Amino acid sequence: MIKIKHQSLIKGAFILMLAGLFNRVLGFILRIILVRIIGDEGLGLFQMVFPIFITFSIITTMGLPVAVSKFVSEEVAKERYRNALKIFKISMLIVILSTLIIVALFAVKADFIAQKLLNDNRTYYILLSITPALLFVSLSSIFRGFFQGLRIMTPTAISQIFEQVARMIITLLLLAKLIEASLNYQTLAPAIGTSAGELVGFLTLSVIFVYYLPQLRSFKDSTTSDSTFSILKKLIKFGIPITIGRIVASLMYTVEAITIPGKLQEVGYSISQATSLYGQLSGMVLQLIYLPTIITIALNSNLIPAISESVAQNNNNAIRKRSQEAIRLTFYFGFLANIILFIVPEEICNLLFNYPQAGDILRILALPAICLYLSQISGGILQGLGAPNLVVRNSIISLMAELLLIYSVIYLPHSLAFEIIPCSIAIRYIIMTLLNFRSISKQVKLNLPINHLFIKPILAGILVVMILPQLYKVINYMSANNTLSLILAIIFSSVFYFAFLLWTNGIVIDDFKKIAK
């Protein structure tokens, strides 16, 4: 008989972080290859389509993955296993029906989206090629929400690895076939690869679910399960704010994909120049900025059900402890990444993408990006507390502030027009973080230990600022190899960073024990 066992917050996050790191490494390798074959303009075309895809996938799932994760964890905490399985079945049925409708609509309206929303006919076939992925990503999300509700993160990690490997293989095979083709056809490779990867991820989760199913059915509880109507009502009531919140978050990227190239054209850039600049921003710089979200995504997948379980048990101490733990891990890892990106942005962009000019944009966003990670964690805390509506409100306010700044570019000199865009994104990160923590403080007092959570990593970051550039110069002088010098300087300065945290008890032995549990 298969044994189903909860994983601790840190261990579950650690499993997902390892899978996320593996996937990001493969993703970056693939992106580097894409940049060298289809260039920043081709990458810009794909990045224009991707936010539309994400928005439609949010609509198909209707916030149910988070709802499933939250309510399954609550039912398991009360040992109502029959109800937990029923929540999964109802959610899966809803998503199957909604996805079939939305996928058909997406395929039929692809031409309208390409011409009227994205204002670029070249995106039409990309939209069609990525359409099948909508079905598979939606169904997979319910499986993942269910396993996360059980606080078993291994199935999610395994499926993500299989998905990314399949995406990379299919994309590279297609790129090899289309190497002499026009840009329009080459950009289909990552779209088809995405669909193939999502199919493999879905099949992997299906096999794992069948593997666990006998154990899930063997659990006995004395209580009768809730009625289908009451479960449906609860799921929709919680899922609608989640859906709105995620649509708002997705709209941030969709609006950027539509607005930024358009505004750049209004101030004098050609359509090719505007697409290329957007490709540098979204396809290169933001991908580096999002790298530490491996941590926040992994933590949130564990944090939401963990806090929901604590809420069900009326355990405020556990809520505070788990929230502090998540914030600490986010700040420790995220701040190190931000410092490195701020110190050597041109060198990193040149190494990865052969576009050192993207480093200017990266430096603007590097330090404020810590607020992006904290906003994601604080949003997860609010969802676990059962207040997704507050995440929606805060997201809308921060998006409005960003849009006001983006629209202001038409009143600025041509030389400053593009620089204001990453600044507007940074402002959104900051506002959203402040609003989220303000909302949390009204529901539960986190009592954050400022010295432990923030001062220690900031001091360690100052150490990195002092050490990294000097290490880079010394190693480069000895080796005359820029790539080797950059990699070793980053590794050694990171070692100093974590050594300082260990020395000051920012990181303690208990952290390692929690990973091993």
Three-state secondary structure call for residue 419: coil
Distance of CA 353 to the CA centre of its chain: 21
As a three-state string, the secondary structure of 255-322 is HHHHHHHHHHHHCCCCHHHHHHHHHHHHHHHHHHHCCCHHHHHHHHHHHHHHHHHHHHCCCHHHHHHH
Residues 6+ apart with CB under 8 A from 405: 420, 423, 424, 427
Query: Considering only CA atoms, which of 348, 304, 341, 342 is closest in space to residue 322?
Result: 304
- Which pLDDT score, from 0 to 100, does residue 340 have? 93
**pTM beyond 0.85:** no
The mean pLDDT values, 10 residues at a time, for the chain of 517 residues are: 50 67 81 80 79 83 84 80 86 91 88 82 87 91 88 84 92 88 84 93 92 73 72 82 71 69 73 75 83 79 75 80 85 92 91 84 90 90 84 86 79 68 88 92 84 88 92 87 88 91 77 48
pLDDT for the residue 223: 64
Amino acid at 218: S
Output the pLDDT for position 113: 85
pLDDT at 204: 94
Predicted local distance difference test score (pLDDT) of residue 434:
94
Interaxial angle between packed helices 9-61 and 81-108, expressed in degrees from 0 to 180 and rounded to the nearest 10: 40
- pLDDT at residue 435, rounded to an integer: 94
Residue 452 CA to residue 507 CA, distance in Å, equals 9
Query: Of 128, 135, 131, nearest to 184 (Cα)?
Result: 128
Of 166, 165, 147, which Cα lies nearest the Cα of 155?
A: 147
Handedness of CA 342, 344, 346, 350 (dihedral sign): negative
Report DSSP letters for 182-201, one per residue: -HHHHTHHHHHHHHHHHHHH
Separation CA 327–CA 378 (nearest Å): 8
Q: Is 216 exposed, middle or buried (0-12, 13-18, 19+ CB in 10 A)?
A: middle
pLDDT of residue 464: 93
Phi, psi of 92 (to 5 degrees): -65, -40
Q: What is the per-residue DSSP string for 115-183?
A: IIIS--GGGHHHHHHHHHHHHHHHHHHHHHHHHHHTT--HHHHHHHHHHHHHHHHHHHHHHHHTTTS-H
Residue 517, pLDDT score:
46
Cβ within 8 Å of residue 79, ≥6 positions away:
221
Distance (Å, whole) CA 358 – CA 144: 35
Predicted confidence (pLDDT) per residue in 457-507, tens digit: 999 999 999 999 999 899 888 888 888 899 899 999 999 998 998 888 877
Rounded to whole angstroms, how far apart are CA atoms 283 and 32? 10
